[in-house]
A and B are shown apart, each in its own frame.
Chain A
Amino acid sequence: MAAVMVSSAGGLLAMLNEPQPSLKHHALTHLNNLVDRFWPEISTSVPIIESLYEDEEFDLHQRQLAALLVSKVFYYLGELNDSLSYALGAGPQFDVSEDTDYVHTLLAKAIDEYASLRSKAVESNDMVDIDPRLEAIVERMLEKCITDGKYQQAMGIAIECRRLDKLEEAITKSDNVQGTLSYCINVSHSFVNRREYRHEVLTLLVKVYQQLPSPDYLSICQCLMFLDEPQGVASILEKLLRSESKDDALLALQIAFDLVENEHQAFLLSVRDRLPAPKTRPVETVQAIEITDAPNENPSGDVQMADGAPAPAPAPAPTPTIVHETDPVDATYAERLTKIKGILSGETSIQLTLQFLYSHNKSDLLILKTIKQSVEMRNSVCHSATIYANAIMHAGTTVDTFLRENLDWLSRATNWAKFSATAGLGVIHRGHLQQGRSLMAPYLPQGGAGGGGSPYSEGGALYALGLIHANHGEGIKQFLRDSLRSTNVEVIQHGACLGLGLSALGTADEEIYDDVKSVLYTDSAVAGEAAGISMGLLLVGTATEKASEMLAYAHETQHEKIIRGLALGIALTVYGREEGADTLIEQMTRDQDPIIRYGGMYALALAYSGTANNKAIRQLLHFAVSDVSDDVRRTAVLALGFVLYSDPEQTPRIVSLLSESYNPHVRYGAALAVGISCAGTGLSEAISLLEPLTSDVVDFVRQGALIAMAMVMVQISEASDSRVGTFRRQLEKIILDKHEDTMSKMGAILASGILDAGGRNVTIRLLSKTKHDKVTAVIGLAVFSQFWYWYPLIYFISLAFSPTAFIGLNYDLKVPKFEFMSHAKPSLFEYPKPTTVPTANTAAKLPTAVLSTSVKAKARAKKDAEQKANAEKASVSESGSGKGKEATEKEGDSMQVDSTATVEKKAAEPEAAFEILVNPARVVPAQEKYIKLLEDSRYVPVKLAPSGFVLLKDLREHEPEVLSLTDAPTSTASPATGAAAATQGTTASAMAVDDEPQPPQAFEYAT
């Protein structure tokens, strides 16, 4: 057909004015087809067409046609609102299935409109009239999606529009219900902003899950945890445990581990308490619930530790008769119950983590040695920074070799440095729940107040106990409370408050609260600050009215330190409350006092942590540029890091402008924001943003940037990003440079600690694998960022460390020998090579010492007034030193050659492009996607997860198992254990063992 088209719509438009209705109809029909081309012409006649639509005399069909036409014209004119309202008038004429831009745009608009109306209706709690036509269109759309099999779209729309009925329909009708459900959970976490609504969605999901023939208990429990319904979890666990099948029991254990990973202590405890007490072991349960004092707790711990013998072993001594009375089903049930309680209380996972970190510790003492030697003796800041770095480097590994080897050097720490040196032990022994107290015993306040030790080390020891028991402080709370009550020394009070806050994190324990409050009311600056933070830690995420009490006191007191502590504490109470915290935030951010506003920033950060909520971001950006106080501005920028950590790619983009601010405080905040939100990701943009800041003109900006960079680069190997190597060399250079500012030097020292944190086996992770926020980690980083004012708070960063390990467990919660594959070049994820360069460097340092003697020699020579001879001497000595330098350099070279040679030898093998890992293995986050299971393996994991705790199903139960991880570091008698139990740390473990006999004495002494 000859494509003759009309050149103008004028004829048809003229026809609209004809008196005959049928002519008008004819014109409308044709205009509708031509509107895509001739809308500019038609737009001038819109009033006529509108009047046709409004003309009551016309038949309905014609009016709808007119409406559709007007709608299209408005669409082309960009007036989407008008377009939509006319499209609604067009009724059935508006065809949702049409594949045109017009229909797509309008549908999107309609859905947006509907969604915003719906959410407004829900939020303001009154009935907003929603155009039924609008609703009809959206419903038509939903149905179309469902019939076309586009379930994800349908679910997305349903969630947006708050149509839970439709959501349910979409899920149940989909062909892969499990898949859609998990998609839906993901969506609800990442896109549903309002907390209450997310609850509704999750409740629905749980309902759907439970209707499935084979429910996915793992996911249900995750949802239930989010909904805070311990009862539901407990009943599921109970059901699984009661089941005949061993697989179900394994699943239950796996669920427990997954729950523990989210670090929601209060929830875990209430689940545990809701599980029935195992009948066979009444004594044990009593202890679990009301652990009254330490001597009782210790044997129970020992029982759990002594899991060398399989399951029934814990029970035998106390009540053997009862065991005989119950039938075997009950017995296995009871045994499983005990296990699961152990897991839920966190002890099992902490212990396994500890073993892993201890056995795989790869920290490089040479780095510390270099730092130690290069740091000037009298510079106490760098001295304690080195201590901090050591603690962070060995966090959770229990390896304190460095401290033991350098006791003399350590003793230079006085006053608060002593406090933090002692507290550092807590970081090193983090999670060492059983021996923790005995380890710290030499430093603890003895028998009330009159102990001989320095208050600083006593306070530090209490803080250390808190760090060891962070978030799992059932056993230690009482002791800390007693210590707090029995002292008036503010340093000890300081330590005890922090310790209590840490160990009772988020429990909202009234009694502890009262104790801490009474410390606060003594109005002593040092103790009050810690009390403020401690109260916040206690009440994390509870949003209680106590916050206003704290705020009132913050207004009352004169001490800035106390105000700051309280401000942070108040911020902690609103953790994760989102909109619920708005009134408090408003109140704080409008305050006259900059310190309270500063707390307000933290409140914003924590209330909206990980939500990437636009409103919060906008507010923070506003404060970042408009507040008069530098502190508030810095914190506002820093807080962005917390709000955005669930979406790390965004942060560098958002703060990139701020990082070029003229104000150094803002630059510092930007650096830390990136460090916090991109921690452990090795994100390229983040590194590019931080790089220029590490050579900023202002010393504290350099410090912040170095620390942030280290946080970003944790566990990133040089092979995956060459800048990691550059950064390590930069750190070394800064540390060795005599003329570097103290501030940036301290930053560099801390950064090298963080870079190799936890024996190079941990990363900083704020989200668990199921995308839940890790409360402890977030809180830890928030308090850590306070180190600007108070260095001892640096240790809070250890709360954010999470081990990057795959730990497979069998039914007995033992670690069997199990191999799996990492399908990537080993060099990508291997440990950084142990430093050889530092030896060369320390050797190179010697000549500098020689040089200084030459200076001395010069001085002496001056006295002798024999300048020429002196010059000769100097030149001789210098040349000699030069030779020495060359020699050492040669040595260094040869060593480097050696090392590269070995690397080359190794490099020949990795070309195979995979490596076999042995359980338990280090699996860094970036490596997770390469993890594969071997096919003919004896064990099959219950849940497909590339890292964390995974329970393994044994396919060959009758063969003897080979265990690869032993009870190290605590037990000495484990000769039959696997090869992986490290040999390198034996001295340390021996030391730890040496300490062991002490505890009973200490207790006798104490009670």
Chain B
Amino acid sequence: MDPQLTEVSQQLERFKAAFVRKDYNTCSDFLSRLKVLLTKFTSLPPLFENTPNAAHELTLARDIYEHAVVLSIKTEDQDAFERDFFQLKPYYVDARNRLPPSPQENLILGLNLLRLLVQNRIAEFHTELELLSSATLDNPCIKHAVELEQSFMEGAYNRVLSARQTAPDATYVYFMDLLAKTIRDEIAGCSEKAYDYVSISDARQMLLFSSDQELLTYVNEEHPEWEVKEGFVVFQKAKETAPCKEIPSLQLINQTLSYARELERIV
């Protein structure tokens, strides 16, 4: 067996051990070392060379990146998640006919969909969705994300929040928490437009807070432009409609005149 390959598999074993121990710092160290080692393998994307160990190497690399994705959730690092996911993707998409499908695939795809939902990147969410086959769509992990998105779009925020309990995997919980915040932002944005002011209790109910105190901290942190006085949350109506755009009359006149002059000159 190729010494490099052996080294990588050994490292991966150690990484997995650390991962089980929940020693995430050690994990990250191992991971970055692993990634560097992977660059030596020519069979990996984007080259896809047909080396004798290609299948093995690909599986190994996929395994590493799958772990990396999960690790990033554990460390609550969204950027790392995105990074690792994109590096993982070619293994799912381009290497499909070279490798047996990974058991983790749907789980990770679902996570990614959820991430997009959390970050409110709906367009990308749908792009990803289009890429999936109809069979995959029936998978509980994916289905979960799709249903969440539908409820989210309908405005059935309650259903979204209750879906936390039905999460198919423990890793989903992290995103579900984040999703609650995203929803709150949505609601806040809507009420800002809809009301001039709202009583504190209504606001608390609407924004799904359990106490007034939480509401107040939220207002202070996220929406300093809101005013809280006399038991009301007053949404600043600062968004006075901008004055109608001025018509560039002078410029238009000049243009018309020059057209007229050119017309006269026409040979």
One of A17-25, A585-593, A785-793 contacting the partner: A17-25
Q: Does A4 contact B (CB under 8 A)?
A: yes
Contact of A6 among B45, B82, B265, B267 (CB under 8 A): B45
Does residue B151 face the partner (Cβ distance < 8 Å to A)?
Answer: no
Is the pair B265, A15 in contact by a Cβ cutoff of 8 Å? no
CB-CB under 8 A from B90, the residues of chain A are 6-8, 11
Residues of B within 8 A of A17 (CB): 79, 83
- Quick one: closest A residue to B50, CB to CB? A1
B164 within 8 A of A: no
CB distance from A48 to the nearest CB of B (A): 12
Is B35's CB under 8 angstroms from A5's CB?
no
Q: Is B86 an interface residue (CB 8 A)?
A: yes
A14, B65: Cα distance in complex, Å: 12
Q: A4-B95, A625-B267 are in contact. Are A14 and B39 (CB under 8 A)?
A: no
Contact between B265 and A30, CB atoms less than 8 A apart: no
Q: What is the 8 Å Cβ interface bit string for chain A, positions 807-836, against chain B (1 contact, 0 not)?
A: 000000000000000000000000000000
Is the pair A15, B94 in contact by a Cβ cutoff of 8 Å?
no
| Contact in complex: B32, A20 (CB < 8 Å) | yes
- Complex Cα–Cα for A661 and B85 (A): 67
Give bound CA distance, A662 to B90, whole Å: 67
User: How would residues 624 to 666 of chain A score, 1 for a CB under 8 Å from any chain B CB and 0 otherwise?
Assistant: 1110000000000000000000000000000001101111001
Query: Which B residues touch A5, using CB under 8 A?
Result: 46, 48, 94
- Identify which of residues 199-219 in chain B touch chain A, using a CB-to-CB cut-off of 8 Å: none
CB distance from B206 to the nearest CB of A (A): 37
Chain A: number of interface residues, binned into ranges: 20 to 34
Pair B45/A11 contact, Cβ less than 8 Å:
yes
Say whether B16 faces chain A, with CB atoms less than 8 Å apart.
Answer: no
A8-B89, A11-B86, A625-B267 in contact; A23/B39 too (CB < 8 A)?
yes
Contacts A8-B90, A20-B35 given; indicate if A626 touches B95 (C-beta within 8 A).
Answer: no
Is A26 part of the binding interface, using a Cβ–Cβ cutoff of 8 Å? yes
A13 contacts B by Cβ under 8 Å: yes
In the complex, the answer to whether A11 meets B35 with C-beta atoms within 8 Å is no
Instruction: Name the one of B47, B86, B95, B266 contacting A14, with C-beta atoms under 8 angstroms.
Output: B86
Q: Is B267 a contact of A658 with CB atoms below 8 Å?
A: yes
Interface residue? A880 (CB, 8 A): no
Q: Which residues of A contact B39 (CB under 8 A)?
A: 22-23, 26
Q: Write the nearest CB–CB distance from B51 to chain A, whole angstroms.
A: 11
> When the two chains form the complex, which single residue of B83, B95, B97 contacts A18, counting CB atoms closer than 8 Å?
B83
Given the complex of chains A and B, what is the CA–CA distance between A661 and B32 in angstroms? 75
With known contacts A20-B35, A20-B36, A14–B82 Cβ distance under 8 A: yes
Interface string of B252-267 (1 = CB under 8 A from A): 0000000000000111
Instruction: Please indicate the chain A residues that have their CB under 8 angstroms from the CB of B95 in the complex.
Output: 4
Tell whether A12 pairs with B83 under 8 Å between CB atoms, given A7-B93, A23-B39. no
Please measure, in the bound complex, the distance between the C-alpha atom of A625 and the C-alpha atom of B265, giving whole angstroms: 6
Q: Tell me if A6 and B94 are in contact (CB < 8 A).
A: yes
Q: Nearest Cβ in chain B — how far from A849, in angstroms?
A: 47
Given A11-B87, A14-B83, A19 and B32 contact (CB-CB distance below 8 Å) = yes
Q: How far is the CA of A1 from the CA of B98 in the complex (A)?
A: 13
A23 and B93 contacting across the interface, CB-CB below 8 Å: no
B266 to chain A, nearest CB (A): 8
Residues of A within 8 A of B48 (CB): 2, 4-6
Within 8 A of A (CB), among B78-104: 79, 82-90, 93-95, 97-98
- When distances are taken between beta carbons in the complex, the residues of chain A under 8 Å from B84 are 14
In the complex, which of the residues B50, B83, B98 contacts A15, with contact meaning CB atoms closer than 8 Å? B83
Residue of B nearest to A30 (CB): B46
B52-92 with Cβ < 8 A to chain A = 79, 82-90
Task: Indicate if A316 sits at the interface (CB-CB under 8 A).
Answer: no
Whether A34 is near chain B, meaning CB under 8 Å from some CB there, is yes
23 CB < 8 A contacts A-B: A1-B49, A2-B50, A4-B95, A4-B97, A4-B98, A5-B46, A6-B46, A8-B89, A11-B46, A11-B88, A11-B89, A14-B84, A19-B32, A22-B36, A22-B39, A23-B39, A26-B39, A624-B267, A625-B266, A625-B267, A626-B265, A661-B267, A666-B267
8 extra interface residue pairs, beta carbon distance < 8 Å, beyond A2-B48, A4-B48, A8-B93 = A6-B90, A7-B90, A11-B86, A14-B82, A17-B79, A20-B32, A20-B36, A30-B47
Of all A-B residue pairs in the complex, the 4 with the closest CB atoms, nearest first, are A14-B86, A26-B39, A6-B46, A14-B83
Q: B: which residues have CB within 8 A of A?
A: 32, 35-36, 39, 45-50, 79, 82-90, 93-95, 97-98, 265-267
